[in-house]
């Protein structure tokens, strides 16, 4: 018997992640799950916000959502800086893995999966501007006057395509769940975030309960 909502909190690296989670917040099943999130507006404070959330005892599960940018082994890259900070909090690489939802190269990949198949996105770049032509294939207004830089108005265009225009959808995104490589630590496109997102949207309480039990 379900006695209480599972409280899940997400620490987000930046604005693309925040746009994605605004969409998730709109669509996810709230009956048995309570989702909250914090936009760090930059990766450097992710570990500190994670530590604060952990110390608060307000949440049953806490995840950090951040990009790899095809730099899994570059100690100067934000990905490694975030992981080093999380390691200081948790003291174990396996524990860091458990709380990390990462996408290689970036969360833009997940947003675009709502428009098209993974096979059409394998040339995605880590640099925002370099993705302008790719994005304009699916969200035509981006790239007409300005290169992509995750501006507020550009992220609003993405959100509108999910919310109002019936151009992008989570159903389409989830078609890539089986195809995408969940090992994001290489130098190829990958993400381990889709199962979590799908469980939120579907209201899969049992999925998160199993995680809490360490299964």
Q: What is the pLDDT of residues 194-205, one digit of tens each?
A: 999 999 999 999
pLDDT digit string, tens, across residues 48-59: 999 999 999 899
**Distance (Å) of CA 107 to CA 10, 17, 60, 132:** 14, 6, 24, 15
Both structure tokens of 151? 């501006």
Task: State residue 35 phi and psi, 5-degree precision.
Answer: -105, 135
3-state secondary structure of 87: helix
Q: Determine what percent of the chain is predicted with pLDDT higher than 90.
A: 93
pLDDT digit string, tens, across residues 114-167: 999 999 999 999 999 999 999 999 999 998 889 999 999 999 999 999 999 999
What is residue 1's predicted lDDT score, i.e. its pLDDT?
Answer: 38
Q: How far apart are the first and last CA of the chain?
A: 18
pLDDT digit string, tens, across residues 58-86: 999 999 999 999 999 999 999 999 999 99
Q: Is the pLDDT of residue 2 over 80?
A: no
Both structure tokens of 48? 């500190």
């Amino acid at each position: 018997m379900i006695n209480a909502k599972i409280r899940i909190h997400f620490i987000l690296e930046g604005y693309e992640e925040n746009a994605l989670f605004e969409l998730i917040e709109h669509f996810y099943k709230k009956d048995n799950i309570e989702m909250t999130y914090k936009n760090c507006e930059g990766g450097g404070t992710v570990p500190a916000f994670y530590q604060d959330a952990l110390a608060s005892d307000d949440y049953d599960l806490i995840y950090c959502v951040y990009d790899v940018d095809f730099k899994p082994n570059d100690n100067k890259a934000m990905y490694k800086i975030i992981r080093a900070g999380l390691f200081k909090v948790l003291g174990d690489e396996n524990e860091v893995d458990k709380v990390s939802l990462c996408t290689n190269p970036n969360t833009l990949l997940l947003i675009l999966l709502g428009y098209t198949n993974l096979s059409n996105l394998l040339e995605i770049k880590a640099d925002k501007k370099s993705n302008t032509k790719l994005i304009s294939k699916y969200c035509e207004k981006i790239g007409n006057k300005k290169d992509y830089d995750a501006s507020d108005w550009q992220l609003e265009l993405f959100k509108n395509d999910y919310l109002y225009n019936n151009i992008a959808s989570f159903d389409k995104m989830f078609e890539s769940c089986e195809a995408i490589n969940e090992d994001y630590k290489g130098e190829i496109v990958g993400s381990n975030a889709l199962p979590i997102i799908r469980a939120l949207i579907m209201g899969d309480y049992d999925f998160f309960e199993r995680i809490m039990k360490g299964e």
